Structure 1
């Protein structure tokens, strides 16, 4: 099964409708970016340009708009909201979105949204821009190329500090009743970004990033903290499916040609996601908080399981091995049966035994990856 066929099947499994037949859970293709100086006139002008480009390309799909309140979409209403954003003062906070949903109880498959930060919070908080497209956009002729053009354009427009692109559940604006579905599918698919409320985590994501995704965006501030572009590239140079692209103020790291939802039923996480996660982990958020607010309608993310979600691509120590068993992971192993036994093994190598112990009594323990 090729990548698009596999995603089509997974998208069907994730999709849900309500009693009225309206879609309330969709698999969406997203770009989420965190940036600074959202209070400035230049930033607002650039956001206006992003919305205008989205409007021009996806106008036939647009049905709804939110600015201070939910409203139906019209060209005149769009023009009024643009003016209000551009005329807003440096201490004003605005939340603006245009999308394909007819009502606030329907999940949109096209959306552009932004929430800015006032000047008084510019030194400890960041603004958030998000774009949503249907997952099947990637299956269209030139879909991948056009998506990556959008990604690079948006990163450069806002001077993205960091962010990500990939697959996520899209829910209605009135999302409280449906966040348990996002929680449920995040337990089944490692590669699914939990991203229905990114604007509520901006304080934690000022000095840290959310983590690895299909497309991981790193601004220069974070690249410097990771040792620089050359160090980052060298750490991943042996992964032919990991590619780097530059934008005006940073790098975009892509894993594979298309996103991988990485179903947990398939076993271990994809190796390249593990490797990119390891490379960027020093700047990943530590105080994770909760990915969801409280919901009365079912189990959602809390502080404990949110921390586990952030660590979903962390490589855990392999299980101990007995002498004679094949090495399960390439790297260094040691045995408690002999002093200074640490040595390098390749995956598949037979673990050695010692003459003074039976093989079943000789255990080898993981000591770390290749230096």
Structure 2
């Protein structure tokens, strides 16, 4: 055996990881059923869940999941406080109607699942908890107003499929295709996807077990309480003080106080970045440049960029160490995390879990030992950075309507319409022609 062979890092495929560690990733009940099972999840946070268009898109996502995996889905829930129960065709239609017909000032909270009851972990599931929209103008006791039609917060959607499914290439392709479909249909602002220990719906009973598994396997996502973390992703700001606000904004209003800056949770196999986070990294081009490697997939779908760290999800078992593609992606994206995250579990002083202290170390698990501290967010929303525009080579269509100039010809400043071909100047001493954005006459001097 050569030296290279002995020092080559161990990489477990999903098939190898499943075969070796299924029992370690599971919690069996006395009747041999499972309260926790390994699966592949997709968790997203999206806007417009409290609008007619958002609800129609959400219904399309549930219908697509049913088309793909409906043969496994036997139970469901159509209200937040409802009981998970077996569903025939009429029961499924009731869930569909709840998505569309629930008033927009009330949250939609529905589930389709393969679990026979709430005590057993599902193999297949899709669930959502939406945000709400003001049906009329609201005036707070402090005097600030929230106008009719304004959304409050982000919505949440999660799906999971069994880990066994992605041990086959066609199964992995199905899981990835559905994640992309969600990004095509919904206004996704962030999220993630990868391996997770999927718990039963009485998840509060299994926090300690989920925490123990996540400590041992770095690729496992802690996600039982993901529906409680929408505020981490969602930015907002206000005027006045926290005790006496004079105005509230469900976005970052320049010059106002930061309420929530908006953070990602970390990285996994898939990390989904809304425009807010992409802009903080310098834009699409800078992100692609920073992550330019053959095994890293970067794909934009509407207002979201999907970053895939490696060709398949990694378990991060002890013999593997930290999955190197995850470490590589984390080095670029880590600045988007919260330096002081909230806990990832419900508070329980009697059992170890992902409280705020543990959440901070867990989210930093892919950081290099010499990584710099994550910067603290500002307290006042800064003005937006000036938009950066790349130069355009002559012969190319104009990317943005406005005034442009080129050094290749004196007096070249002119207005181009978007899509208009920007000419190449022949015989110029400057060589190839490049057109430069000129917002004012001074810019062309």
TM-score by length of 2: 0.68
RMSD (Å) for aligned C-alpha atoms? 1.9
**CA shift for structure 1 position 210:** 1.1
Match of 2:289 in 1: 234
Q: Deviations over 1:315-350 (max 9, x none)?
A: 1129xxxxxxxxxxxxxxxxxxxxxxxxxxxxxxxx
Structure 1 contact 176–295 (Cα < 8 Å) conserved: no
Give the direction of change, closer, same or farther, for the CA distance of 1:242–1:137 in structure 2 (3 Å limit): same
Deviates more, 1:151-160 or 1:286-295: 286-295
Structure 2 contact 219–268 (Cα < 8 Å) conserved: yes
SS at match of 2:40: strand
Kindly indicate whether residue 104 of structure 2 is the aligned counterpart of residue 75 of structure 1.
Answer: no
Match of 1:263 among 298, 311, 317: 317
Structure 1 CA distance for aligned equivalents of residues 201 and 35 of structure 2: 10
Match of 2:195 among 159, 163, 167: 167
Match of 1:11 in 2: 22
Kindly indicate whether residue 275 of structure 2 is the aligned counterpart of residue 247 of structure 1.
Answer: no
Give the direction of change, closer, same or farther, for the CA distance of 1:283–1:305 in structure 2 (3 Å limit): same
SS at match of 1:176: helix
SS at match of 1:161: strand
Q: Deviations over 1:242-263 (max 9, x none)?
A: 1212212222111111111112
Which 5+ residue runs of structure 2 have no aligned equivalent?
Answer: 1-10, 135-145, 235-261, 372-445
Structure 2 CA distance for aligned equivalents of residues 168 and 37 of structure 1: 27
Kindly indicate whether residue 74 of structure 2 is the aligned counterpart of residue 63 of structure 1.
Answer: yes
Structure 2 CA distance for aligned equivalents of residues 248 and 87 of structure 1: 26
SS at match of 2:183: helix
Structure 2 CA distance for aligned equivalents of residues 102 and 302 of structure 1: 30
TM-score by length of 1: 0.81
Structure 2 CA distance for aligned equivalents of residues 182 and 43 of structure 1: 32
Match of 2:359 among 306, 311, 317: 306
Structure 1 contact 180–297 (Cα < 8 Å) conserved: no
Structure 2 CA distance for aligned equivalents of residues 186 and 141 of structure 1: 25
Structure 1 CA distance for aligned equivalents of residues 350 and 160 of structure 2: 25
Structure 1 CA distance for aligned equivalents of residues 77 and 98 of structure 2: 12
Structure 2 contact 17–315 (Cα < 8 Å) conserved: no
Where do 1:140-219 residues align within 5 Å?
Answer: 140-206=168-234, 207-219=262-274
**CA shift for structure 1 position 25:** 0.9
Structure 1 contact 180–299 (Cα < 8 Å) conserved: yes
Structure 1 contact 291–306 (Cα < 8 Å) conserved: yes
Which 5+ residue runs of structure 1 have no aligned equivalent?
Answer: 319-371
Q: Deviations over 1:295-316 (max 9, x none)?
A: 4773212111111111111111
**CA shift for structure 1 position 10:** 2.0
Match of 2:374 in 1: none
Give the direction of change, closer, same or farther, for the CA distance of 1:198–1:90 in structure 2 (3 Å limit): same
Structure 2 contact 12–320 (Cα < 8 Å) conserved: no
SS at match of 1:165: strand
Match of 2:57 in 1: 46
Match of 1:286 in 2: 339
Match of 1:20 among 27, 31, 36: 31
Structure 1 contact 30–166 (Cα < 8 Å) conserved: yes
Structure 2 CA distance for aligned equivalents of residues 91 and 100 of structure 1: 30
How many residue pairs end up in the alignment?
316
Structure 1 CA distance for aligned equivalents of residues 72 and 173 of structure 2: 20
**CA shift for structure 1 position 94:** 2.0
Q: Rg larger in 1 or in 2?
A: 2
**CA shift for structure 1 position 272:** 2.4
Give the direction of change, closer, same or farther, for the CA distance of 1:255–1:20 in structure 2 (3 Å limit): same
Q: Deviations over 1:43-100 (max 9, x none)?
A: 1111111111112222221121122212222210110121122112221012111100
